[in-house]
Chains A and B, each alone.
Chain A
Amino acid sequence: NAGVTQTPKFQVLKTGQSMTLQCAQDMNHNSMYWYRQDPGMGLRLIYYSASEGTTDKGEVPNGYNVSRLNKREFSLRLESAAPSQTSVYFCASSGVRGGHEQFFGPGTRLTVL
C-alpha cells in the first residue's frame, strides 16, 4: 500500500497562474484534508472532506478550491496563484470523522514568483 500520495512534489508558478495539486489514498479512508505549512508555523487546515461528496472550509480557505473526485482522490486548486501561497502543502486522510489519527502524504513544495 502506498498510503497517501501527492503530485507534484515541487512546482514553481508565476503570479496569476493556476494549478491543481493532486492527492490520492489507498486506505479506504472516508475523510481527507489539505493543510499548508509555512516556515516556523504549524500546519493550518485549508479544506477538508469528511466523506465522499462533501467539502468544508478550514482555517485558511481563501484563494483555494477543492474537489472530492471520489473516495480515493481529493484535489486542491489555485485559480490565480499569489506569492502569499508559497508554502508546503500536505494532504492527509483518516478513517474516523474528527479527532483521530491522520495519515499524511509527503507534501508538495510550491513557490509562486
Chain B
Amino acid sequence: DQQVKQNSPSLSVQEGRISILNCDYTNSMFDYFLWYKKYPAEGPTFLISISSIKDKNEDGRFTVFLNKSAKHLSLHIVPSQPGDSAVYFCAASAGGGADGLTFGKGTHLIIQP
C-alpha cells in the first residue's frame, strides 16, 4: 500500500499563475517531508523541505504547507515560470526508523506560456 500519494499525475498551469501540488501520506511516523524536482534524464534535485513540528516553510517562490491532522502537504509555486515544468516528487522520512526516503509517484507540472 502506498504510504505517500500524489493523486494528480499531471497539472497544467499558465505562466505567472500559482501552481499547487498536493501530497497525502498515511504513515503517522513520518516526521520530515521533502519536495524534489526532476527533469528528464537527470537525477532528482532537492527543492524544499519541512519538519513535522512546523506548518509552513518558505523559500523564494516556493512554499510548502503541512497539515498534520489531515496528513496532507502541498507545494505552492508563485509565480510559475516555464523552467518550473518538470516532475515533482513528494517524499517523506521517519527519522527514528530506517534511513531512506519514501516517495510518491510524482506530478508532471506543465507551465503554459
Closest to A100 in B: B32
Given contacts A99-B93, A105-B43, contact A43 B103 (CB under 8 A): yes
Closest to B6 in A: A42
- In the complex, which residues of chain B have a beta carbon less than 8 angstroms from the beta carbon of A105? 43
* Interface pair B106/A42, CB less than 8 Å apart: yes
Q: Among the listed A50, A59, A98, A106, which residue makes an inter-chain contact with B43, where contact means beta carbons less than 8 Å apart?
A: A106
Most chain-B Cβ atoms within 10 A of its Cβ — which of A4, A42, A58, A103?
A: A42
Q: With an 8 A cutoff between CB atoms, is B100 at the interface? A: yes
Min CB distance, B20 to chain A, in Å?
A: 19
Interface string of A70-93 (1 = CB under 8 A from B): 000000000000000000001010
- In the complex, which residues of chain B have a beta carbon less than 8 angstroms from the beta carbon of A45? 100-102
In whole angstroms, how far apart are the Cα atoms of A45 and B97 in the complex? Answer: 14
* Interface pair B44/A43, CB less than 8 Å apart: yes
In whole angstroms, how far apart are the Cα atoms of A105 and B41 in the complex? Answer: 11
Chain A residues with a Cβ closer than 8 Å to the other chain, count: 28
In whole angstroms, how far apart are the Cα atoms of A106 and B45 in the complex? Answer: 10
Q: With an 8 A cutoff between CB atoms, is A56 at the interface? A: yes
Q: Among the listed A98, A99, A104, which residue makes an inter-chain contact with B44, where contact means beta carbons less than 8 Å apart?
A: A104
Q: With an 8 A cutoff between CB atoms, is A14 at the interface? A: no
* Interface pair A102/B42, CB less than 8 Å apart: no
Most chain-A Cβ atoms within 10 A of its Cβ — which of B36, B99, B104?
A: B99
* Interface pair A42/B45, CB less than 8 Å apart: no
In whole angstroms, how far apart are the Cα atoms of A35 and B101 in the complex? Answer: 9
* Interface pair B103/A42, CB less than 8 Å apart: yes
Give residues in B with beta carbon < 8 Å to A: 4, 6, 9, 31-32, 34, 36, 41-46, 49, 89, 91, 93-106
12 pairs from A and B in contact (CB 8 Å cutoff): A4-B43, A35-B100, A41-B105, A42-B104, A43-B101, A48-B98, A56-B99, A58-B98, A90-B44, A98-B100, A99-B93, A106-B41
